[in-house]
Structures are given as C-alpha cells and as structure tokens.
Structure 1
Amino acid sequence: MHPHSSPHPGPRSRRRTGSPRSARLAAVGAATLLLALTALPAAASGPAPSRAAASSAAAGSSDPSDRVLVFSKTAGFRHDSIPDGIAAIEELGAQGGFAVDATEDAAAFTPDNLARYAAVVFLSTTGDVLDPAQQSAFERYVRAGGGYVGVHAAADTEYDWPFYEGLVGAYFQSHPAIQQATVDVEDRAHPATAHLGPQWERTDEWYNYRANPRDRVKVLASLDETSYEGGAMGQDHPISWCQDYRGGRAFYTGFGHTKESYADPAFRQHLLGGIRYATDAAQADCRPEQGYRPLFDGTSTDGWKQAGPGSFTLDTASGTLTSTGGMGLLWYQARELRSYSLKLDWKVSSDDNSGVFIGFPASDDPWSAVDNGYEVQIDATDAPDRTTGSVYGFQSADLAKRDAALNPPGEWNTYEIRVQGERLRIWLNGVKINDFTNQDPARSLRQGYVGIQNHGEGDEVSFRNIRVKDLPAKSGGHHHR
C-alpha cells in the first residue's frame, strides 16, 4: 500500500556466461570446451549435425549456456516422428536463442563433450542406449547442474539404471491406441504449461507408467482417464512433470508420439518451455506439491472481498485476477489462517507494484492490513527492503538468490509464503529468498487474513492459482526446521 521510492535498476533473471551453473558444467570437462562442433562424434547410421549446430560452429560458439544436445538413439521401438522432433527443436532453438546439435552416437556422452551443453534432450530414446562409462559421464553432468529433457519414449529407456529412473521420473508400462484425450493442466505458471488453459484436448499415444511419480516431482499436467479408453493409472495419471534432481533440472513430457505433435503450436510451446526450464533460461517451482486447497481457482471470487478503491478484473478464460486502480486490497474473508503455506502465481507486465498481505485482522479499511500485518512485496525496482521478495519496510530478500530465481515481466512467478508461529519464510520459484521473524505483538502472525494488493493506476499485476495448505503450529520464532 505504499508509493514507489527512488528506483534502481531492476533484477534480471537470465543466466550469464560465467554463472555458477555454467562454471560447474565447465568443470566436468574443461579440456575440450573449445572443440569445434564438427568434432562431435556421429554414428555411421545417425543424422548429420543439425543446421543450427553448423551455423553455430561457423560462429565459433562454445558457451554451454546456449547449447542443447538432442539424443535420439534407439535400441528398441523406433518412432518415425524423431526426425520431425529434431527439426522442431532446431526451429525452436533458432527462435529461442539456443544452438542445437543432434546425434544418435552415444560416444557423445563424455565429460568433456557434455560440458558444452546446458541440457540434453532424450527424444523418444528406447532401450539400453548408454554403456556404463557413458552413464557415469551423464550422471556427473547432471550432478554438476546439467539439464535433462525427456520426450515421450524417454520413459522407455535405461530400465536397469536407477539414477535414470529417478531422473525421468517414471518408467513406461503400456499404452492404448492413439486417440484424443483431455489433459488437465495442473500448473499454469511453469513455462511449459503457462500458455495452456485448464484443459487441453489433444490426440497422442497415452502412456501408462509403472509408478506414479507425484510424491517425487511437480506434476504439470495429468490425464483424465474418463476421456479416453485404455488408461490404467486411475484418477491420478500424471503425463508431464518437472523436478530438481541431484543438482540438475529435469523435465519430462509424455506427449510427442505422433509426427503431427511437432507441428502443433501448443505442443511446440510446451516443449520449448520444458527446454527453457532445463537450461535455466526460465525459472519455476518444481518441488513436489500435494495437500493444497484453492482459495482462488480462476472461476470466481467467492470468499473474497474488496477493501478500498480500485478492483481486480476476473478473466475466467485465463483464470486470472488482474489489478485495476487502487490503492486497495482484495482479501480472503471466508477464513482466518493460522499456521499455513500460501502459494500463488503472479505476473507483472512491466515495472508494476503489488504485494501479498498476511496476518492482518478483518477490516474493510485496506490500511488496517498495512498497520497490523505484513506485505510480501512485488515490485521490480525499489529500495532493497521494498522490492520483490522483501517483507515490505522490514527485511530485504536475499537479492542474489532473488535475482537468480526471478522471471522477467511477462512471465509467471510462484510465491510460497510459509507462516508458522511468528516466523515468515518466502520462496520464489522454489528458492528460499527470505526468512523473517516478527517481534511486534501488534503484528502477530499467529493468526490473520490474507489478501492481494491493487496498488494504483498503471500497476497491472495478475494473479492465478491461489492455494493454501494448513501446517502444524510451531511456537516462537526459532529458525530450525
């Protein structure tokens, strides 16, 4: 509920050459980081280096932050859509600013060669495609911060390698005939799914998996088994997910069997978003998530009440609330919260101002929340204790962690605001950026309401998927877990 103070240059969330993650990858194979792309081994029967690879070789690029390796070796069933998939990823790379090398030669899996890439895409690989030395090199690559993207039959790969089982998330079990099905999009903040509506109707080959990975990964989308024939996982059938795994980032999608998939703009955006996450070009909260209930599900504002001037515009098509005018507060009056984890997705359009208020008493005066609660700020350019991730006016976020975790204007971010006793912790896109303990009895966090701010004219901030989970109460402000 506060006007801007003097701005400073806003944070940017883009990995730069020389970042810690790039340095870790470089350390995996320092001796050959400057190899020309033409030195990449190619199988006698495999495809030639990609067009993107050739153009990048001509430019002499060797920065692992903007290079992706597509691996499509098969030791079992071979999908005839693989060439379409390679071509699509090359085109996405040309549009998205990353170079693409494609190979079916497992000899590419050496520490030196893998260190040249931000991510490796397993494109409908099948069977046992890596020998023990190659497995070891890839495991070291992931542990050093490398990214993994698994597409469709990547789940039908390396059944005797436990590390890979954890990385891909689940192994293939069976599939029915190709048919249309309804996809329930569970996470609409991740770059792979932010462009989709709550349901996605598409035709593909729908995998059943040997185990449900939900307790280990963040499920992005699942199948409605009532919408097609042959589902074998019941009411909970994940089909796409992401996770932080052993130091690296992993994204898997069960889509991509058909050639037509790779010409579908929605699927191509899904695949691009997964690659951007795996390469660290986009941030997302990929921690497993269960037990939350919606406060705002995108369909109505039941239970919410506007205090003060301005309002929020509800768009049920996109499932968003967008701030208009102010300074006001839309607060959830249906229930007072005590010990809880509050999660919500938010997006700014430019240098906009908003925030999430917590721990305030019921009131139709928005300034009551200012005086009696705390604001978790959303504002790219302000003083450190008044910018994104701060407890406004009281404690700055860890700026280095915040900047690394933050997506830029136009892209979605996810907050987790966790309140237990007088302790307030804040996660941005899965990274803890603030840990604050209240010392003021007038602002006790032990109980109170929550709300989102509409700051004023020209501040356009959108919110989506506001949900909460009750947590065990903890006394005091101690800082051990």
Structure 2
Amino acid sequence: MKTLLTLTLSGITALLLFLFGQSDTPEKGKKNHLATSSDKFEKLVIDTPDQSRFVKVNLMHGQFTEPTEMAILPNLDILVAQRRGEIKIYKNQSKTLKEALKLDVYFKTNTPNVNAEEGLLGIAVDPNFATNQYVFAFYSPIKTSVNRLSRFKLVNDKINPSSEKVILEFYAQREICCHTGGSIAFGPDGLLYVSTGDNSTPFDVPKQEFVNKGYAPLDNRPGLHQYDARRSAGNTNDLRGKILRIKVKSDGTYSIPDGNLFPKGDPKSKPEIYVMGNRNPYRISVDQQTGFLYWGEVGPDASGDNEQRGPRGYDEINQARKAGFFGWPLFIGDNYPYRAYDYTNGKSAEPFNPSEPINNSPNNTGLSQLPSAQPAYIWYPYGESKEFPQVGSGGRTAMAGPVYHTKPGINPYPAYYNGKLLIYEWVRGWVKAVSMSPEGNYLSMEPFMSNIKLAAPIDMELGPDGKLYILEYGKGWFTKNPDAGIVRIDYLKGNRPPQIKNMEIKKISGLLPYKLEATVDVKDPDGDALTYIWNLGKGIKKTTTGPILTHTFTKIGEYPISVKIIDKSGASSTSNTIAVFAGNEHPNVEINLLGNKSFYFPSKPISYKVLVSDKGATVNKSRVYISNTYTVGLDLAGAQLGHQQAAQTLVGKSLMLKSDCSTCHKVNEVSIGPSFTKISTKYQKNNKATAYLASKVIKGSSGVWGEIPMPAHAAMKEAEVTQIAEWIMSLAAKANNTPSLPMEGKIIPPATINANKPVFALKASYADIGAAGLKSLSTTKVVNLSSNVIEAKDIKDLSQFGRKDLSGTEELIFPQDAGWIRLKKIDLTDIAAFSLSTKDMGGNVDYDIEIRLNDKNGQLLGKTNLSANTNIPITAVNGNDFHDVFILFKANKKDVKSRPLLQNIKVTTLL
C-alpha cells in the first residue's frame, strides 16, 4: 500500500509535518491526495512498513509478580513497580534483576470475595534523573487509607526508604473494589501528571431490588457512598477520578501550574485537577512535543443500552489539549448520557445534559455546576464498534501509550510512524497506530507490529534509545505469571527471524517406549537455511536441520516440547510449548450410531453405543461420562456431521486461547475468575451445562462466582463458544461417579425441533486413573446430527441465489436462470426424499429441479418440476459413505419478475 502526496516544492516542509501526522486508511488501494495552487509539483511516496520486520526481544520473563508500570533510565536500566510493593531494577548490561526497594503497601482486603486493586501502582523518573536520581512512586501505604505520591532517590541500584518525600496524598476508601488509576508521566515542560481512579464499586448492592447492573454507579442512599461515583469522579472537591497536574519543586513540595481546571483558593474545588470525570484512567502518556495528554479509560460493564438507565459500557482513549471534564459518571463515549436513577423505586430522571452537567448528589462536596463534558477521542463497547471497527470485540481494558517521535540521530522505526499515537489493549492484546492531523484530530488507526503476540501489555514506554519497551503483566490476575516480563520492540531493516506458524505433535501420549513425532510449520522471510534446536524437557535437547523430529522416550514423565529455530545470521524464534506424556496413553473412545449419521428426525429414536478402551489398563465404567445436547449451526463451526470428533474439545481449547478468556481464567489455578476445571466440576451433572456456559460467555454473567462480572462476548460465534464450553466440560469428566447416560441406549428427540439449535450433539468422555508420576488423561468424542429441517440461513454453499431477511427470518431467492445448492458430506442411508418449502409463488413460475450425487453432473437421484412444498423422492444410495448432494435449479421461463423464496429443505426418512 502506498500513500501518494503531490507537493509544491515551496510547501514541502509544512506538508511533511502534515504527512507525518497522519496515515493512509488501512484498506488496500486507498489514497490521500493533497493539492496546492502551485504549478510545480513533486510526488512523495511513503510505504506502509512491513509488519514482519517488527520483532519482540525478550529481556526478562518469569521473575515478576504483578508488574504495573515501568520507567526506563538513561543507561537503559529499567525500574519496574510491582503491585505488592517491590521496585525492581532490570540491569541492561548484566541482564539481571535486583530489588531496589520494598514498600509496605495495602494490596489485599480482609473482606471475603473482594479483590483489592491498590498497592504500588505507578512509577516514573524525574526528567533530570541523570543529575538528581529522583524516582516518583504512587502507592497505597498499608497503615493509612490514602493513596500517596512520593519522591525517592536511587543510589547504586538501591532506594533508601529514608529518602522519601511525600508530595501529596488523599483519602481512598478501602475494603471495596475498584479503580485506582495510578499512572505517572512527565510532560515536556517538566510538569508531573498522575491519574487516580474513582474508588467506586461497579457491582450491585447485595439483597436490593433496584441495583446498578453495570451502568453508572449513582446510588446516593445513606451508607452506600462507595456506590456513588459522583462523590469522587464527579466531585470538583475530591482528587479521586481525576488526572492531576503539578510542578514539583526541588524540596519536594509543589506548585499549581497555570491552565489547570480550577483556580487556587476556591473552597469547592481542588486546583491540582487537570482532568476530571474519570472512572479508571489506568495508563496515561504525554506527547513530548505537543504536550497533549492521552489516557486509556477502563469503562463500565453493561452490555446493552437501556432506556431507563443509559448507554452500554464503553472503554475510551482520550486526548486532552487543555483542562476539562470528561464526563464520568454522567456521560460516556461520545457524550452518551446516563439518567439519574432512584434506587428506592426504580424510576429514572431525564438524561444528564453534557452542555450543562449538574452534580446534585448529597455525597458531592464540590460544585454542583460542572464544566461542559468533553466527548471521548476513541470509544468502543464489548461488541464490535461501528465507529472504530479495527478495535475488534471482547473484553475491554484500554491503554494509551506514547506518541512516537524521531530524534536527531535516533530513528529506530520508520519515519512513517512519526507523530502517531500508539494505543494498546491489556485484554485483547493488540497495539494500534493512530494517525492525527497537525491539530491532533483523529484521522485513522491501523495495526502496529501486528505479527507480535503480547501477554497482557500493561505499560508501554519509549526509551532513551527511541525504542518501544513493553511491560507484560501476563495472562492471569493477582498472581505471579510465567509470561510476565519486559520486552523491547526492534525493527529489522535487514535480516528477519524465522516466522513460526505452529508446532504439531502427531501423538501426545504413549506407553514406554514412547515415540515422539513433532513437526513445526515455519518460514524464513529471507529464505535462509534454518537450524532447529528442540527442547524436550528435563534437560533433553536435540538439533536438526529440518522441521521434523522423532525421539523415543524410555522414562516415564510429562515432557514440555518446544523448538527454537535459528537462521544463518543468528536471528531466532521459539515455538509454542506442548506437553507430552510418556508412560501413559490417552484412552480411546468411540460412539457407534445405528441408522443415518447426518440427520435426526423428530420423535424417532437415535440408537447409540459407546466403546471405551484404555491401552495397558482396565476400563472403569464409572469414569465414563455421556451426555447429549442441542446446539447451533449446520456444520458446528467445521465439525463434520456424523463423524467422530476426537479433537473437537482441543479445538475448543485453541479457540479459548485465541480469545480473551485466558486473561481471567486458568485451567487449574484461580485468577480473577474461577479455574476452568472448577467450572467443569460444578456443572458435570447438568446435562444442559454446555449450552448454559455458552450463553454465559455470549451474554455475560455476574454473581455466580463473586462480584467480578464476566463481560459479554456478543460478537463471538455461538458455535465457537459452544466448542469452548465443550472443552471446559471435558476437564472434569473424571469427577462423575455415574454416567449421566448409559453406555448403550436410545435417545428420542422432541417432536418439535428448535430452529435456533438444530444440531444434536452426543458426547462421551473417559478419564483414566493416570500412571505413576503422571496425571489422569482423558479423551472426549462427539458426534453431531443435524435436524432434518435445514433452514435457509444455514445453507452456505450455493450459486446464483439471493438472500432476503423478512422479520428476522432469512430466506433464499430462487435464481433468475439457473443455480444450485450443495449439501456437503451427508449420509444418505435410509433417506427417502428432499422436500423444498417455498413461498411467493406468483408470476407463473416454472423451474425444473434435479438432485445429483457428488457433482453437478453426477448420478441423477431424483427430479421434479417446482410446485409449492415440492417433495422430491430419491433413489437409494448403497454404502455408508458420506456424499455431497447437489440440488440443481433451472428456470423454464426467462425474465420472471416474481421469483419464489426457499425457506428450508426437509429431509425425510424411509423409517
């Protein structure tokens, strides 16, 4: 993609500034054109940088516990604040980690089922650190219910606690959750900015009829202060829910700079406030050229708009060119207004007015008339965003990074990115480059280093070398994560490291001797020869010159398998890790169905038999778990109907890892949410558990496992969420002492089929007892049968048909001349006919219809001429193979104005 700008020679300097402040839209082939009045032109061509040239350099991983913010020193050492109170220092030369200071902080509540977010939250170094060694920290001292900004001095990699100068502090209510802010940044003029959260509870008041439900917390009843953010974020006389701006003096005191939101001396306001109306401005950044302030605002949890309450939740990226009120808790997003809500009777008042916002809460100690509300710069909900589609969907935790500027002699990245704002997502894991006009107006956003995966990026800073450094919190809350660490982003103008797509292992378990066969899918972008160093765990390594490895294990154990791939210049990449099991083999589970293996029919029994074998062991039938459910999708997101799906639950795990689920849940460990295994155990005896869990993921949930809500994932496909739920349920199959269904029997489908869940899924799982030193291994098989009524919305493989949506019911418009529908890989055993349900037959419509086997010109199975609800008998097809079935349509009259609509195809059986 290229951006072509036509420039006058006399205007190049000014226009370069314009160019480097904006970007082309990401769609291929689009151009920005800039013309001038001069007759003399030159063309300047800017190429979008190759994203594969960005590489992630791991500096330190596995040694951090809840890192929150970092500061990069002039010598490229890095200070890292950890929420539990430690300030760590990463030594750039020795690649080691030291502890510089341990603060005694409040980071854990004594209240059951409540998580504290306080602790050591922010860190920054003085702009003149090279001469004064000053370090600033924002933290929650354990003995006093305040949040505190202090200055320390770093000497010889140590911070003496006695060097502390308390700069400012303010009351924060404890033993509640949530929202702390805590980020520190300096502007180009040396002014210090620090963000503070609204210190309010977003959850529902227990045992009340009228509750918050994820909207703005506006409950002002006596004794419920923590449920009213107007007392903090909307209060001009409170430092919570703000971004403060001060000038720190050499003695540790501070002055108020000109241009803050409120004047000094007003008893109803705080002069330190630069920005107010913040919920949780968790990460801030200041443009070192313009002085503009940017921050990510973590928004509320409501998944849908409500006429009585107000808008759904949005996260925001904000820009402040001057002091202002940015809305919370009266407004969100593009100044979408909330309504005051009476929590005693459920009645709502008029929406708040962004031009004249009023804070009339009895908990407000400041001005009632607030400044006009400023809309968000970028905003997005849980679902897909119409305004900013590039942000995707899922959980939300917006972060604002630096604005990238080149410096004389320091240009580690292409000039294309000069002047672009870098924003990122803690949950979703992406980084975007935002193009702006010279005035700072939003123009567009595009993926930045899109080939790099990040483990919950929580801070992003530009170092003195001009390079981007990223602090990864790791995927898991309130714990020490092995993937937490510091990375540096390099841009390789020359040689690039190998690009690994995936590593696969043919068979991940086996009795001794166990033969491992591993293959890695890799490509070197420069075409170099590659060397493969395989790490087989327990100190075993092998080197190959090709992407395939075979190795025989003779000792029992669980072995983590990965491979490091190195090109001829020494650039390397490391694959994913897969655990294999030597000394125990996954059991084998098969489901045998009698009759048709593609369709089920109302009120007609489905006969099944489950067979289980366990190599080297006796099968314990009490550990077999069998269930059935009705779910969505004709092809169940790729699962072939009627076939044994040995890996379907593994597909569910893969989908989970690609989603944001792993940020809040671990397989066996507690994170902010319960472990997947614990969820699986809870619902093992519920035959409808898979559908129930899938609905919770899509719609969101709260109150089942504590206060923390699970966000809605409305944009996720129901079929994929169902596969995630299947994988979750497979984790604790061994917990059942009695199968929910017998190993052999009959299941009678209902007489009426739910058109929204037309697939019958029969699942069988078996967990063995493990082996010496090895955990239990389980296998799950699923077979899927479609309803015999195939709705038009589920027919995807077709030609020359149109689609029409009538009141939410999708129908297919017959072709003008000729067309076809293909039903892929179906079993024709005992099938008697296909019946077409059609309507709108006016206009003398005349179509010939044929049904053919495997190909449009294949064996003719049946034919007819169209009439309403046409039934087409077919000849029997021998064998048990699965076939493609083509239904061909040919109009005998041309230019027909009224074409019929196909509603569904019904398959009928001989039995």
- TM-score per shorter chain, which class? 0.3 to 0.5
Q: Which has the higher contact order (CA 8 A, sep 6+)?
A: 1
- What TM-score, normalized to structure 2? 0.20
